[in-house]
Amino acid sequence: MMSTVVTRPDPVAAVDWSNAENALGYRPGDVINIGWHCSDRICQEGRAAKTALIWEDAAGASRTYTFDDLRVHSNTIADFLAGLGVQPGERVCLFMDRIPELYFGFLGVLKMGGIAQPLFSAFGDESLMTRLANAGTTAIITQRKHVAKVRKIRAALPDLRHVIVVDAHDAPLREGETAFDLDRAPRVERFEVFPSTAETPSVLHYTSGTTGLPKGAQHVHYSLISQYLTAKVVLDLKENDIYWCNADPGWVTGTSYGIIGPWSNGTTQVVLDSGFSADRWYAFLAKHRVTVWYSAPTAIRLLMREGAAVAKHHDLSALRHLASVGEPLNAEAVIWSRETFGHPFHDTFWQTETGCIVITNLPGMPIKPGSMGKPFPGITAAVIDPKTYEPCTAPGRVGLIGLRPGWPSMIRGYWHNPDGYARKFVNGWYLCGDRASIDPDGYFWFVGRDDDVINTGGHLVGPFEIESALLEHPAVAESAAVATPDLVNMEVVKAFVALKPGITGDEDLELDIMNFVRKRLSPLAMPQAIEFVTSLPKTRSGKIVRRVLRAQEFGEPVGDISTLMDE
């Protein structure tokens, strides 16, 4: 019988992590620093004058930077941080819109040996607070428009010694805040890059699970090996490509494939710091003659909703390779993109924890629309039986996605949470928390998450964080946050709320609660619907059973409810 442990897709059977080590000139024990590899090394290879970044904002302002600019600007920020006394190993949070300083700052933090902690600028003060407190962050680099959120929580963050504002210009700052202006700062041509080695911590990304607050996924500099190779092979990056990854670096896609992957390959990339608009996006693709585009299913569904005709107004003939990540890529989206752009979106599956693409449709591999493809060479993936924790041998059986640990970009732990990390491993497999099946040809088919995490528009939000925020609202006694279906975002947050005695729920209260969560957490975490209930389904030990509510929302069978409390 055919085994459903799949290790190698056919088209690139010769690809191996050692290819990346050789290409990057890395030998075990060498110094390896992502910041240096993405800038200085490219310059040393004779590509200093090559364009690294073309940046544009919502208003149409645009700036272009070479790899030498990347080198010098990241040096300048690294030198500035070191000058403030920020030490190697300390966490430096990047809390900015997608402005050039975010990208240079990311490389600069890594160059001085700090741990880069990127967070979405859309986060409210409570989301920010949770993550800065957990990481014991020393410095935060932000913009004037976001500094108020930092001010609100600063007194509760004793480790936060430096608040750096990149666009203060001559506006007054508060005591303990420091202005940094890249255009005015003396250019630092030479900076002694921190001699990090393979296991030196590099990036800390916060990701949501079912229980507890978000966990800090801790990456190391050696992750570069995986990110370099998967960007080159899966995204098919070539010397003359113009590459666009429309992910924000607050999300792992925006760092692994919005900074490290492309720049370690010396690829020119474009960044659009602006919200979604089909016309704007197509105009951007056309203007810059983008050749490789890495996007996400929700964005693709939004484009589909606008209709193929909008695309026809723009010259998208430069596009040659499309890829997608973050949520299930439905078959219709693959077929639509083939018809509209002449190229199908290639699905890629991975996680904050994996650091790189692990299951994918490689370029040249026949695509089965709706399937995630096969494991990347060097990754051993299987569907694990949830009872025996052995790989399912029968094709088509649904089980848990399991990966054999040990590839370069796998996280080395959750920050200050070794137990949480240990719980992800069973019987020698790292369990992703997702369910899938494998067909007789070895293609993986995503089925759903195996926990209560809500995937809204490709962003994971944890029910615990939302419920904690809900409980702070004066009218709320108890709550459960679950996913409810949505045409564009696939899932959105719905909250079931039991009110305190004497309070009745009405539309005003509903809006008030929604805004309350939006301000504290983020627009994505905000419940799009609130249902007032008198009680919530619970286990006999008093735990709220979200899966019952979720199943109702999706019209699915509720499953075994024999342990639920009879209310």
Chain residues in the site for ligand 6R9 (CB under 6 A)? 207, 251-253, 325-329, 347-352, 372, 432-434, 446, 449, 455, 460
CA distances from 524 to 306, 494, 516, 527, 528 (A): 22, 11, 13, 8, 9
Q: Which is nearer to ligand 6R9, 86 or 432 (CB)?
A: 432
Q: How far is the CB of 488 from ligand 6R9 (least distance, A)?
A: 16
Q: How far is the CB of 234 from ligand 6R9 (least distance, A)?
A: 12
Q: How far is the CB of 362 from ligand 6R9 (least distance, A)?
A: 14
Q: DSSP 3-state assignment of 561?
A: coil
Q: DSSP 3-state assignment of 234?
A: coil
Q: Which is nearer to ligand 6R9, 104 or 345 (CB)?
A: 345
Q: Which is nearer to ligand 6R9, 226 or 479 (CB)?
A: 226
Q: How far is the CB of 324 from ligand 6R9 (least distance, A)?
A: 7
DSSP for 341-380, written as a single string: HSSPEEEEE--TTT-S--EE--TTSPP-TT--BEEPTT--
Q: How far is the CB of 246 from ligand 6R9 (least distance, A)?
A: 13
Q: How far is the CB of 438 from ligand 6R9 (least distance, A)?
A: 14
Q: DSSP 3-state assignment of 127?
A: helix
- Identify the CA nearest to 296 among candidates 353, 359, 339, 254: 254
CA distance 533 to 499: 8
Question: Which residue number is nearest to ligand 6R9 in terms of Cβ?
Answer: 352
Count other C-beta atoms under 10 Å from residue 486's C-beta: 17
Q: Which is nearer to ligand 6R9, 446 or 496 (CB)?
A: 446
Q: Which is nearer to ligand 6R9, 89 or 405 (CB)?
A: 405
CA distance 237 to 7: 23
Count other C-beta atoms under 10 Å from residue 422's C-beta: 10
Q: Which is nearer to ligand 6R9, 493 or 513 (CB)?
A: 493
User: In this structure, what token pair is assigned to residue 106?
Assistant: 């990311």
The neighbouring-strand residues paired with 455 are 460
User: In this structure, what token pair is assigned to residue 448?
Assistant: 């759903």
Residue at token pair 């240096």: 36
Q: Which is nearer to ligand 6R9, 407 or 446 (CB)?
A: 446
Q: Which is nearer to ligand 6R9, 124 or 326 (CB)?
A: 326
Q: How far is the CB of 326 from ligand 6R9 (least distance, A)?
A: 4
CA distance 400 to 391: 9
Q: Which is nearer to ligand 6R9, 56 or 327 (CB)?
A: 327
User: In this structure, what token pair is assigned to residue 297?
Assistant: 């299913």
How is residue 47 annotated by DSSP? I
CA distance 95 to 447: 34
User: In this structure, what token pair is assigned to residue 395?
Assistant: 């094709």
Q: How far is the CB of 331 from ligand 6R9 (least distance, A)?
A: 12
Q: Which is nearer to ligand 6R9, 250 or 377 (CB)?
A: 250
Q: How far is the CB of 218 from ligand 6R9 (least distance, A)?
A: 14
The neighbouring-strand residues paired with 483 are 493
- Helix (H), strand (E) at residue 400: strand 399-403
Q: How far is the CB of 353 from ligand 6R9 (least distance, A)?
A: 7
